[in-house]
């Protein structure tokens, strides 16, 4: 896996990440979602430089022009529910892509156990395609692992790109051993630690709750 880490790069991403982390700005859920969309759009643009392209002729009112267009068949998968605004940002770059939706959530059967449950999956065939997984928070990496295993019945992608907002060093290291070699991780920031509940420190909290409200 190749990791594209934007933690220390001085770009406008830093402003959007700062606003996502700010507990006062977080009170505006619309702004929170829009900032995640912006990050998804920027990371998708960066990712687009790794794609293969073909030459396409465009006819304008005044002539013709040879253009380069991505030739890969792309499937963009959102991990519900927190992944929806991130997926929307990615779709704004790849608006002709197919889309997939996976419900994955943390379950705590007891105080000492954390498991990831996948309950809903809707996806097209992934065989020979480019799969983009949108998961804003890469904490332990177990959510991405379980989603990847659940998608295996839909075919083998030619390549995989993971787009994430904030991750932990532990989570990044974990998925490097899970995903195939032809995988890229595009991540806006990597933080040092996880707390006892396996949330990223300092992170930003629960991205799903901040985007859509507290769950029961």
Q: State the average pLDDT over residues 176-183.
A: 94
Write out pLDDT tens, residues 114-144.
456 677 899 999 999 999 999 999 999 999 9
Write out pLDDT tens, residues 49-104.
999 999 999 999 999 999 999 999 999 999 988 999 999 999 999 999 999 999 87
Q: Which two tokens stand for residue 160?
A: 């995989």
Statement: residue 200 has pLDDT above 50: yes
Q: State the average pLDDT over residues 35-46.
A: 98
Distance between CA 48 and CA 42 in Å, rounded? Answer: 10
Query: What's residue 206's pLDDT?
Result: 92
CB 73 within 8 A of CB 67: no
Q: Which two tokens stand for residue 94?
A: 């790849």
Comparing CA positions, the residue from 100, 112, 174 lying closest to residue 139 is 174
CB 163 within 8 A of CB 44: yes
Q: State the average pLDDT over residues 6-18.
A: 96
Place of tokens 């990440």: 17
Statement: residue 105 has pLDDT above 70: no
CATH architecture classification, 2-212: 3-Layer(aba) Sandwich (3.40)
Write out pLDDT tens, residues 141-163.
999 998 999 999 999 999 999 99
Alpha helices by DSSP H, the chain? 13-21, 29-48, 83-91, 142-151, 169-176, 207-212
Decide: helix, strand or coil at residue 84. helix
Q: Is the pTM of this model over 0.85?
A: yes
Query: What's residue 83's pLDDT?
Result: 93
Query: What's residue 60's pLDDT?
Result: 97
- The mean of the pLDDT values for the chain is 92
Tell me the pLDDT band of 184, cut-offs 50, 70 and 90. Answer: very high
Query: What's residue 113's pLDDT?
Result: 47
């Amino acid at each position: 896996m190749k990791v594209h880490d934007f933690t220390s790069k001085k770009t406008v991403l830093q402003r959007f990440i700062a606003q996502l982390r700010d507990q006062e700005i977080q009170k505006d859920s619309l702004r929170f979602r829009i900032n995640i969309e912006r990050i998804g759009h920027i990371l998708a643009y960066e990712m687009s430089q790794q794609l293969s392209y073909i030459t396409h002729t465009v006819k304008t009112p005044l002539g013709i022009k040879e253009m380069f267009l991505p030739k890969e068949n792309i499937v963009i998968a959102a991990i519900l529910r927190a992944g929806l605004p991130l997926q929307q940002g990615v779709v704004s770059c790849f608006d002709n892509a197919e889309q997939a939706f996976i419900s994955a959530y943390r379950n705590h059967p007891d105080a000492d156990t954390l498991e990831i449950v996948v309950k809903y999956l809707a996806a097209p065939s992934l065989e020979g395609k480019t799969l983009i997984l949108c998961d804003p928070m890469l904490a332990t990496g177990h959510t991405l692992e379980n989603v990847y295993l659940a998608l295996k019945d839909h075919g083998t992608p030619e390549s995989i790109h993971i787009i994430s907002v904030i991750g932990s060093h532990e989570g990044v290291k974990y998925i490097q051993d899970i995903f195939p070699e032809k995988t890229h991780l595009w991540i806006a920031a990597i933080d040092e630690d996880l707390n006892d509940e396996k949330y990223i420190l300092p992170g930003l909290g629960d991205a799903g709750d901040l985007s859509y409200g507290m769950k029961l």
